[in-house]
Structure 1
Amino acid sequence: MKYRFGAMALVAAGLLSVNAAQASLISDGPGLVYDNVANVTWSSNGNLFATMYATDPNLINQIIAVAPTVHDTPNGFDNAGPGNYNLNATDFNGTTGYMDWWGAIAWTKYLDSTNYLGHNTWELPTTYTQSCSGYNCTNSMLGELFYAGLGGTVGQSINTSHNASYSLFTNIQNSVYWSGTEYASNPSYAWYFYTYYGYQYAISKNDGFYSWAVLPGNAAANVPEPASVALLGIGMLGLMAGLRRHRRFG
């Protein structure tokens, strides 16, 4: 009898796992898209910085006021002593949305300070390991988003080759996006992902590129999807029925 209870519970758990793996990008409220494979929540605006600057030309000064110094691994670009980079207006281009790496880090700290969309854990996407460069790299949040979440294709722009989840976003750029992860072999470099070709590598932190803000985990209330709730209910009912039989005949 105990074996049957365990089998039913394992089946229910397995069904829930399959259901979770099948989904990928889900609207998580205004301005947010949840990736339940990478377990992160993206800003739905792929060029949020430029959008913010268009409505607030003083944005760059506000960012610098919040995070005047960015701490990184000591490198030749640090202008305020080893491991410290002092920001200035030239680190940003509000019109295009470009920022160097330090500007991008500071921008996410500004989002935190304003509790943007009700959250204060904004960051740049992470490159999980440094074992893959070039095409077909999904060892980063941006690589997973390009290939798995959005159905991108090697050598093709994400704006022209994608799946239906692409419509959840606005202002996705055919260009380079910063990763928040420094390049271990040379800390004056950081990882990037190029959405025009699906290419990943590292580049100098003082270059200007786009930034895509992300939140860890599910930004919305952690409520199971309806199908998951139903499966969980079926599993629980079976388990309860088994327990009742066990008590009666045990």
Structure 2
Amino acid sequence: MSHKTKSAALLAVGLLGANLAQASLIADGPGLVYDNVANVTWSSNGNLFGSMYATDHNLISQIIAAVPTVHDTPNGLDNAGAGNYNLSTADFNSSGTMDWWGAMAWVKYLYSTNYLGHSTWMLPTTYNQNCSGYNCTNSMLGELFYTGLGGTAGQSITTTHNSNYGLFTNIQNYVYWSGTEYTANPNGAWLFYPNGGGQFANYKFLNYYSWAVLPHQRLAIIQDRFLEPP
């Protein structure tokens, strides 16, 4: 690469970095949206499980075959000994909702199958457990709701949002699981309500939606567009 070409590429990367710092959310390849504030990459489909099941009704059996047991903090709801929960079809619903163990198994299935070329899929994290109710941005979903999508406490994200909302499809006006267990009572886990911006904990056996996320930037934004062979 010539000095002139390299300088142009570095300038382009620099400009892109400046744009990313302001963008908060940016499309990062097919099916992905990068959040440069939280440094995570979301599936652009807010009900990816429901969409996958609609095209493959064997999905649930495939998930159970790949991840038959979910390991968690020992609690009174474990059905296979302390810290172990054996999955069944009852943990999933074709509409897209599932209990917490089903949600954990589904994201493990995504990374075991290298979905969209990635093997680090996970459920969103609740960073600490000092905030419940509204205006909590101490979680990936809270940051996405309030910062990335411009949500307002007490109002549904489907009706009150900024232009970044158009980067996503199938955002559900209900409840999404966090992958973080509730420390005070491991029978439960954290969750987030996009229909009002609330963050709470509830029992793992309840059926909610799940939003898959990658804990980093895909980097193709920079690499695919600005790097060239020497």
Give the structure with the larger helix fraction: 1
Q: Tell me the SS of whatever aligns to 2:192.
A: strand
For the residues of structure 2 that align with 1:222 and 1:195, how far apart are their CA atoms? Answer: 28
Which residue is equivalent to 2:76?
A: 76
Which residue is equivalent to 1:183?
A: 182
State the 1:155 CA deviation: 0.8
Which residue is equivalent to 1:223?
A: 222
Where does 1:204-219 land on structure 2 (aligned, <5 Å)?
204-219=203-218
Which runs of 5 or more residues in structure 1 are unaligned?
Answer: 1-14, 230-250
Query: Normalised by the size of structure 2, how large is the TM-score?
Result: 0.88
For the residues of structure 2 that align with 1:131 and 1:124, how far apart are their CA atoms? Answer: 19
Q: Tell me the SS of whatever aligns to 2:46.
A: coil
Q: Deviations over 1:179-212 (max 9, x none)?
A: 0000000001000000001000100000000000
State the 1:17 CA deviation: 8.2
State the 1:221 CA deviation: 2.5
Contact 2:28–2:221, Cα closer than 8 Å, also in 1: no
Instruction: Give the number of aligned pairs.
Output: 213
Q: Tell me the SS of whatever aligns to 1:193.
A: strand
For the residues of structure 1 that align with 2:18 and 2:53, how far apart are their CA atoms? Answer: 42
Which residue is equivalent to 2:127?
A: 128
Contact 2:20–2:26, Cα closer than 8 Å, also in 1: no
Which residue is equivalent to 1:137?
A: 136
For the residues of structure 2 that align with 1:20 and 1:53, how far apart are their CA atoms? Answer: 34
Determine what percentage of the aligned residue pairs are the same residue: 73
Q: Tell me the SS of whatever aligns to 1:181.
A: strand
Which runs of 5 or more residues in structure 2 are unaligned?
Answer: 1-14
Report the RMSD for the aligned CA atoms in angstroms. Answer: 2.0
For the residues of structure 1 that align with 2:27 and 2:154, how far apart are their CA atoms? Answer: 27
Which residue is equivalent to 2:53?
A: 53
Query: Normalised by the size of structure 1, how large is the TM-score?
Result: 0.81
State the 1:113 CA deviation: 1.5
Contact 1:29–1:220, Cα closer than 8 Å, also in 2: no
For the residues of structure 2 that align with 1:135 and 1:107, how far apart are their CA atoms? Answer: 28
